[in-house]
Amino acid sequence: MPTSKANASTAGEAAARPTIIGQLANPTRFLGLTEALMPWLISLAAACLAAGAYLAFFVAPADYQQGDSVRIMFIHVPAAWLAMFCYSLMAVAALGTLVWRHPLADVAAKAAAPLGAAFTLLALFTGSVWGKPMWGTWWVWDARLTSVLVLFIMYLGLIALWRSFDDPGRAGRVAAILTLVGFINIPIIKFSVDWWNTLHQPASVIRLDGPTIHPTMLWPLLIMAAGFTLAFMALHFGAMRAEIFRRRVRTAQIMIAQQRAPAAAPVAGSAVSRSR
């Protein structure tokens, strides 16, 4: 049947055609693509952050209760979103390592961990600095704050885990399992303000019934969040590129050691025989 043969060959060609993710499995291709993308990402991030800062300081009004301290929210909220987004990205990368064995998956996860830790630290610090004048305390052990602190500790644990293995492939698999186990903390952070009675206010932007913030404050927040996300992407691509080069360095060191090993063996043997 010509039709079924044609269908089969089309399906075969489609299966053989590499997907975008498949094409990115080649680190050299990834390096080329990110080299072209990085200037655009950096420019866009800088433009969004500058516009966001301008709107945050010169357009958004002071809050009728919080006064000018509401301006801290324009960096606290994007930092907190990215802290959770970064861990979610690491969880997807962990699946890529364990299920699809994508060569760049654990590179992506390893490169993201320090960035996630930095954004989580920023969220904790800016939240604390906002909390002192508004709540009268730097810190409370409520569910939202505590679960975000747990996220920060998990990032540090994963960074330490990656550093404790010589073989990056083995480290990637172990870290991927731990990352997936730790992902349970993400919905806990998100819904902690609904499940428990917390001092931290409930969600006011990402809600089923729409944002409850006035547009004069919502737009600076969204533009600042876009700037943070673009900056994160640029930093993540940069850190991934450094990690790919680090792995090439490791491979090259092993190759040099292997090339020198046969030549070194008789010398070592003669040294042993001399010592006898």
Partner 1 sequence: MTHLGFILAAYGATAAVFAALIIWVVRDTREQKRKLKQLEADGAVRRSVQMKR
Distances (CA, A) of 56 to 53, 66, 203, 206, 209: 5, 14, 20, 20, 25
Applying CB under 8 A, which part among 12-20, 99-107, 160-168, 243-251 lies near partner 1? 243-251
Member of 60, 75, 107, 225 binding partner 1 (CB under 8 A): 75
Applying CB under 8 A, which part among 69-77, 86-94, 162-170, 209-217 lies near partner 1? 69-77
* Residue 72 is a binding residue for partner 1 (CB under 8 A): yes
* Residue 246 is a binding residue for partner 1 (CB under 8 A): yes
Number of helices and strands in the chain (H, E): 9, 0
The site for partner 1, by CB under 8 A, has a size of 37
Q: How far apart are CA 156 and CA 171, in angstroms?
A: 15
How many C-beta atoms lie closer than 10 Å to residue 22's C-beta? Answer: 11
Applying CB under 8 A, which part among 9-17, 99-107, 173-181, 239-247 lies near partner 1? 239-247
The least distance separating partner 1 from the CB of residue 52, rounded to whole angstroms, comes to 11
- CB within 8 Å of 256: residues ≥ 6 apart: none
Contact 161, 171 (CB under 8 A): yes
The least distance separating partner 1 from the CB of residue 219, rounded to whole angstroms, comes to 19
How many C-beta atoms lie closer than 10 Å to residue 114's C-beta? Answer: 17
Applying CB under 8 A, which part among 175-183, 197-205, 215-223, 238-246 lies near partner 1? 238-246
Give the distance, in angstroms, between the CA of residue 276 and the centroid of all CA atoms in the same chain: 57
∠ at Cα 207 (203, 210), nearest 5°?
Answer: 120
Q: Contact letters (x/-) for partner 1, 155-194, by CB under 8 A?
A: ----------------------------------------
Could you say which DSSP state residue 57 is in? I
Q: Which residues bind partner 1 (CB under 8 A)?
A: 28, 62, 67-69, 71-72, 75-76, 79, 114-115, 118, 121-122, 125-126, 129-130, 132-133, 231, 235, 238-239, 241-242, 245-246, 248-249, 251-253, 255-256, 259
